[in-house]
Amino acid sequence: TTRIERHHYDVVVIGAGGAGLRAAIEARLAGKRTAIISKSLFGKAHTVMAEGGAAAAMGNVNSRDNWMVHFRDTMRGGKFLNNFRMAELHAKEAPERIWELETYGALFDRTKDGKISQRNFGGHEYPRLAHVGDRTGLELIRTLQQKIVSLQQEDFAETGSYDSKIRVFAETTITELMLDGDRVAGAFGYYRETGEFLLLEAPAVVLATGGVGRSYKVTSNSWEYTGDGHALALRAGATLINMEFLQFHPTGMVWPPSVKGILVTESVRGDGGVLRNSEGKRFMFNYVPDVFRKQYADTEEEADRWYTDPDNNRRPPELLPRDEVARAINSEVKEGRGTKAGGVYLDVSTRMPAETITKRLPSMYHQFKELADVDITKEPMEVGPTCHYVMGGVEVDPDSAAAFGKVTGLFAAGEVSGGMHGSNRLGGNSLSDLLVFGKRAGEHAAAYVDALAKRPRVATSDVESAVDVALAPLNRQSGENPYTLQQDLQAVMGDLVGIIRRAGELTDAAKRLQELKQRVANVGATGGRKYNPGWHLALDLRNMLVVSECTAKAALEREESRGGHTREDFPAMSPDWRKVNLVCSVDKSGDVHLERKPLPKMREELITLFDRTELSKYLTDGEMVEFDALPG
């Protein structure tokens, strides 16, 4: 029989990025024995790569900022498809979560009078991103880890063991959730180094596994982002929403090929960087959509004045939401005004002194110097769109982060959850999302455990089948090569379900994904269980595949263009589609189903934060009649 290490916890948190760590801290503070699982080394998550900052309406740089303005910006950025309650909680609670980080030891950059400094970012009306140079995520992870260590020291003083109440399992991948009927009962996985299996029995599981970018050819995401949490949720009976909405960040590196996709932070534009095509033209002025025309400058002069006098000038169009900028770059390149490597120019060298560049954008300076041999203080960068963030994710209750669908005891926070960002996320809203909903997930997971009359049990037969599934690729040494399969999947998603989509190609994608599904069922891995990346990828592939199926199906179904979903055959936003969430589920045989579900309706005191003209660009005539009938 196969050896399986067994552990018992109250709460298991899968993922050690910002959302997972913040959830674990809260569960432990509520007295729960908590495990944190991380596929890679502890401390190496996407959160650590976040550069620009965390959005929170603290009003430190412009005192006119407040949660209502942040809420409005978030809804606009998401083109009104956001779960309004999540956007509301996020805008209201983000400042508190940032200040709290300082009590954990975070050191944000300061304004002259000693407050937490805030920088401009696309789609945010006022300077709002709390930051540490362009290395904000590193500080966030550092302080959350420091808080965990300090809690472990308290536990040591009390129990004699650092791990007694909060334990980290690094380089450990969860492959399956365990259920008792429709209740979560634990998680099953393997240690990457030894290939040994482990079972964590727990009545509550928090998914905090981040994104899905690795299913795309060009992506800013690192190797571990294979949509595991999305797939675990689906297989456990939970549902996903908004999977058609993927954020293609406008500025990834395009050259040299080995680093294609690596992110160039939006701070470059926030701090004054401009986009030019191969003819030297600042093309973004040609791409301001009607819904945003009032807020954006129409001349270079006004745009440039905005950096020093934002109250009397409108913002530069380079700072439009990411979906707009990515599409604009895509069009310029397609129409033959791109660079040789297929991008456009992003320039700071003619915009600010070299010392300012190296001080404000140190990571970017080093990234281009080391990876592309480009000195950004002297010459422009070459950039193009890269698959960056998934707006879609686990459908959750906004207040408690509990997953919807046929399962209880499952919670989700951070990038793996859906709804908060609607059809497009604003930069900086992810780091704040992690903190706000990570805390809520930990708190409510703990409360759920407290309220349980009886703990769920893991059935031996379920553990045995999890072992069988995990070992299957190793029992098929001459099966399909996992690396070839991943490349084929990336080609289908990149070419047919990419930044611009068409019905014919999406139908073709669905067919090819079915073929890939057959091949993935026959994936093999050579070698044994000890540190075997081919085996690991073979196991990740079924997750990537089911998540990609949801994306492709939803992208075909949604016949409009909105945020991170652009249909060439349906180029306009449709007010009727705005009212619809596409909900994805899988049945016992693994088939993907899609269902239309009405979007929750915004409460009166929130919808009246917008003016009528703006709302009329997004809402149906029927909704406008309801709006006009509101008292006051």
Cite the active site residues: 249, 269
**Least separation, in Å, of the C-beta of 281 and ligand FAD?**
28
The whole-angstrom separation of Cα 140 and Cα 50 is 9
Three-class HEC string of 486-555: HHHHHHHHHHHCCCCECHHHHHHHHHHHHHHHHHHCCECCCCCCCCCHHHHHHHHHHHHHHHHHHHHHHH
Whether 575 and 618 have beta carbons less than 8 Å apart is answered as yes
Q: Site for ligand FAD (CB under 6 A): which residue of 12, 13, 24, 37?
A: 37
Helix 429-451 / helix 136-159 crossing angle, nearest 10 deg:
30
Candidates 10-18, 293-301, 504-512, 621-629; binding stretch for ligand FAD (CB under 6 A):
10-18
Q: Site for ligand FAD (CB under 6 A): which residue of 11, 16, 328, 550?
A: 16
Q: Site for ligand FAD (CB under 6 A): which residue of 83, 173, 242, 423?
A: 173
Regarding 47 and contact with ligand FAD (CB under 6 A), the answer is yes
Q: Any idea which residue has 């709804």 for tokens?
A: 419
**Least separation, in Å, of the C-beta of 379 and ligand FAD?**
22
Using CB atoms within 10 Å of the CB of residue 290, give its burial: 0 to 12 exposed, 13 to 18 middle, 19+ buried: exposed
The whole-angstrom separation of Cα 275 and Cα 83 is 32
The whole-angstrom separation of Cα 188 and Cα 173 is 8
Regarding 34 and contact with ligand FAD (CB under 6 A), the answer is no
The whole-angstrom separation of Cα 358 and Cα 356 is 6
**Least separation, in Å, of the C-beta of 20 and ligand FAD?**
6
Residues with Cβ within 8 Å of 451's Cβ and at least 6 positions away in sequence, in order, are none
At position 163, the amino acid (one-letter code) is D
Choice between 394 and 607, CB closer to ligand FAD? 394
Q: Site for ligand FAD (CB under 6 A): which residue of 94, 263, 582, 592?
A: 263
Regarding 414 and contact with ligand FAD (CB under 6 A), the answer is yes
The closest of 126, 106, 124, 437 to 116, measured between CA atoms, is 106
Regarding 338 and contact with ligand FAD (CB under 6 A), the answer is no
**Least separation, in Å, of the C-beta of 596 and ligand FAD?**
27
Measuring CA to CA, how many Å separate 276 from each of 20, 32, 332, 346, 383?
Answer: 39, 54, 10, 6, 10
Residue nearest to ligand FAD (CB): 17
Candidates 281-289, 408-416, 463-471, 545-553; binding stretch for ligand FAD (CB under 6 A):
408-416
Candidates 74-82, 366-374, 430-438, 462-470; binding stretch for ligand FAD (CB under 6 A):
430-438
Whether 495 and 508 have beta carbons less than 8 Å apart is answered as no
Regarding 403 and contact with ligand FAD (CB under 6 A), the answer is no
Candidates 36-44, 111-119, 487-495, 620-628; binding stretch for ligand FAD (CB under 6 A):
36-44
**Least separation, in Å, of the C-beta of 320 and ligand FAD?**
17
Through-space distance between the first and last CA atoms of the chain, rounded to whole angstroms:
71
**Least separation, in Å, of the C-beta of 570 and ligand FAD?**
28
Choice between 206 and 284, CB closer to ligand FAD? 206
**Least separation, in Å, of the C-beta of 388 and ligand FAD?**
6
CA–centroid distance for 466 within its chain: 28
Regarding 431 and contact with ligand FAD (CB under 6 A), the answer is yes
Candidates 223-231, 284-292, 494-502, 604-612; binding stretch for ligand FAD (CB under 6 A):
223-231
β partners of residue 417: 394
R_g of the chain computed on alpha carbons: 24
Choice between 219 and 377, CB closer to ligand FAD? 219
Footprint of ligand FAD on 88-147 (CB under 6 A): 136-137
Residues that bind ligand FAD in the complex, under the rule CB under 6 A: 14-20, 37-40, 45-47, 49-54, 136-137, 173-174, 208-210, 220-221, 224, 228-229, 263, 389, 414-416, 427-431, 434
